[in-house]
Chain A
């Protein structure tokens, strides 16, 4: 198991509030890794630190063995490390196809690329991916007119369009119609098997993340509390006390 992302002793404080306190974790390549923890435990902060949204106070973050903690968001995303947002963010006044096209990989863009069109197969790929998330029929509607759940699916498709190596998903199932969640879980799995994307997922929906992830990290109060397979996490006393509640283990079993 090769770690594609490795965080070592990462710390981040906002003023006096320590959001991340010496967190060390590894995201293995080609797998699905979960990140759980109660609200305010520092999950999104850690995501923001990894993608270079803000500078970290201490520690090191490597991506494919390369130190990225001093790089900016755009540089990191061009390396193939992409994130989606908790509050879904799509380009609301553009239609779905345009949202997809503008997300094509731009790692090798030169100055003159600004004046080029989009390659013929890009539209085709955009349409296939929109079909993949079930938005093909709505592809000419503006993204802002879609429901929240559909925007979330669109954002996921946009991320895949960019051909990332690693995708950081911030609560992918929040706000999605429960009947669509199974379809989404399936698509997340297939993005790993078919597109070879490594997933690192923040999720509050326990059945979803426990069923999806190969291994799970649990944060609490800015510290790493536990790490293990979903089964180990579910039976870990510290996790149960800090987060899931006394009775959760019994219900899930």
Chain B
């Protein structure tokens, strides 16, 4: 009981801290929103990369898809998208608050659905690839998407799209999107905490450890892989929709499909925190985000070098990640130990054959 009480207090404290943060540090609302997005990135990457052993380098694809789909819905509900994004002869646009919120709600929903559908579609092809081939396959998809959207004039091509302006003052806008990012990260965490208590986790781990054995045992491996990929895409699609609106302007290579920044950060955060665990990605994302913010502020010009250094140190000296290292250091505290008790019940214990073997 005591343990469950302290657990509830712990989770409660996180929620309170999360809600209080933008009020206590109003100047950092945007930066802390970024933290929740990073935590979501790491959590969703870890479903495939950590739990299932499918290291994707292109998960950022779903983020970008979500961003574009949301934008198209937000604009398309009330205007002709092609006219809206046309570089010359711009049309006059104005979104009423009602139009704005309705568009955003439907846009987020559409982003989630379309990203999930893309995951199921591409899953048919690339989930048959294993190891480095899967990594390169996903990377290819994300890179190609950036280029394709850059050439697609309907959505503004390389020039991008400006999103509808928030009907309210900028402080409220930051707080509004902060709350949405916060809810999304907490929802993803709660969902995964539950998901990892079901069969999904053990089968995912079995696929990670030996997929061929899992197949030989008759497990529906394909079903689980598709599900894991779809769940990642679902949350990433929503995060893309929110992030696009937070930035206010979508551009294909730097904002929507930032393969070499966010796309790689996802992987690095899981590696730092400890992949294949629930808390590893969260801790890794928090640490990474803080380091990133600090280096961007105090080491400007050297920030990429500092970040690269962090990545190298973690990959070379700390491959298990923080949570993995703790698990390895104190295995007994996590129940990894020899049980001195004899056998599960007396009837078997009394059996001479079992005695002899023990």
Chain A interfacial positions (CB closer than 8 Å to B): 51, 53, 73-75, 77-78, 82-83, 85, 89-95, 98, 101-103, 106-107, 109, 111, 113-118, 124, 127-128, 131-134, 136-142, 158, 162, 180, 183, 186, 190
The answer on a CB contact under 8 Å between A93 and B209 is yes
Report yes or no: A141 in contact with B208, Cβ–Cβ below 8 A.
no
A131 touches B344 (CB 8 A): yes
Q: A106-B220, A118-B199 are in contact. Are A73 and B345 (CB under 8 A)?
A: no
Residues of B within 8 A of A124 (CB): 344
Please name 5 pairs of A and B residues whose Cβ atoms are closer than 8 Å in the assembled complex, sorted by A: A53-B216, A89-B216, A92-B210, A114-B224, A138-B338
Q: Are B205 and A91 in contact (CB-based, < 8 A)? A: yes
Cross-chain contact B344 with A142 (CB below 8 angstroms): no
Size bracket of the B interface: 35 or more
By beta carbon, the residue of chain B nearest A126 is B344
Q: Which residue of A lies closest to B213 (CB)?
A: A89
- Within 277-300 of B, Cβ neighbours of A (below 8 Å) are at none
Can you list the 8 inter-chain pairs with the closest CB atoms, starting with the nearest? A77-B218, A91-B209, A134-B357, A127-B344, A89-B213, A102-B202, A78-B218, A183-B357
- Residues of A near B203 (CB, < 8 A) are 102, 114
A133 to B195, CA, bound (A): 31
> Which residues of the partner chain A approach B1 to less than 8 Å between Cβ atoms?
none
Q: How many A-B residue pairs have CB under 8 A?
A: 129
B198/A109 in contact, CB under 8 A: no
Closest to A118 in B: B199
CB distance B198 to A140 under 8 Å?
Answer: no
| B306 at the binding interface (Cβ < 8 Å) | no
Contacts of B214 in A (CB 8 A): 91, 102
Q: Is the CB of A107 within 8 A of B336?
A: no
Contacts of A109 in B (CB 8 A): 220
B217 touches A85 (CB 8 A): no
**Partner-contacting stretch, out of B14-22, B157-165, B348-356:** B348-356
Which residue from A114, A117, A134 sits with its C-beta under 8 Å from B197?
A117
Closest B residue by C-beta to A92: B209
Complex alpha-carbon distance, A197 and B345, angstroms: 24
Contact, CB under 8 Å: B358 / A134: yes
Quick one: which of B216, B340, B342 contacts A83, CB cutoff 8 A? Answer: B216
Q: Which residues of B contact A78 (CB under 8 A)?
A: 218
CB-nearest residue of chain B to A94: B205
Q: Which residues of chain A have C-beta atoms less than 8 A from B221's C-beta?
A: 74
CA distance A98 to B335 in the complex (A): 13
Q: Which of B200, B336, B341, B345 contacts A115 (CB under 8 A)? A: B200
Asked if B339 is at the interface of the complex by the 8 Å CB criterion, the answer is yes
Q: Separation in Å of the B104 CB from the closest CB of chain A?
A: 30
Known contacts A124-B344, A131-B348, A140-B338, then 10 further A-B pairs from the complex at CB < 8 Å, ordered by chain A residue: A74-B218, A91-B205, A94-B205, A101-B202, A117-B197, A134-B358, A137-B358, A138-B339, A140-B335, A158-B217
- Residue picked from B219, B224, B343, B344, most chain A C-beta under 10 Å: B344
Q: B339: which A residues are within 8 A, CB to CB?
A: 136-140
A229 to B92, CA, bound (A): 92
Q: How far is the CA of A33 from the CA of B269 in the complex (A)?
A: 53
The answer to whether B198 and A114 touch across the interface, beta carbons within 8 angstroms, is yes
A79 to chain B, nearest CB (A): 9
Interface string of B225-239 (1 = CB under 8 A from A): 001000000000000
Q: Is B147 an interface residue (CB 8 A)?
A: no
Tell me, in angstroms, the Cα distance from A127 to B348 when the chains sit together. Answer: 11
* Chain B residue, CB-CB nearest to A95: B336
For A94, list chain B residues within 8 Å (CB).
202, 205-206, 209
- Residue of chain A at shortest CB distance from B194: A115
Query: Which of A117, A131, A140 is close to B343, meaning CB atoms less than 8 Å apart?
Result: A131
Q: Is B98 an interface residue (CB 8 A)?
A: no
A158 — which chain B residues lie within 8 A by C-beta?
A: 217
A140 touches B336 (CB 8 A): yes
B220 near A74: Cβ-Cβ < 8 Å: yes
With contact pairs A74-B221, A140-B339, A142-B336 given, residues A113 and B199 touching in the complex (Cβ less than 8 Å)? yes
Q: Which residues of A contact B220 (CB under 8 A)?
A: 74, 106, 109, 114
Q: 1/0 contact trace for B37-49 toward A, CB 8 Å?
A: 0000000000000
State the CA gap A158–B348 with chains docked (Å).
19
Q: Which residues of A contact B344 (CB under 8 A)?
A: 124, 127-128, 131, 136
Q: Does B337 contact A (CB under 8 A)?
A: yes
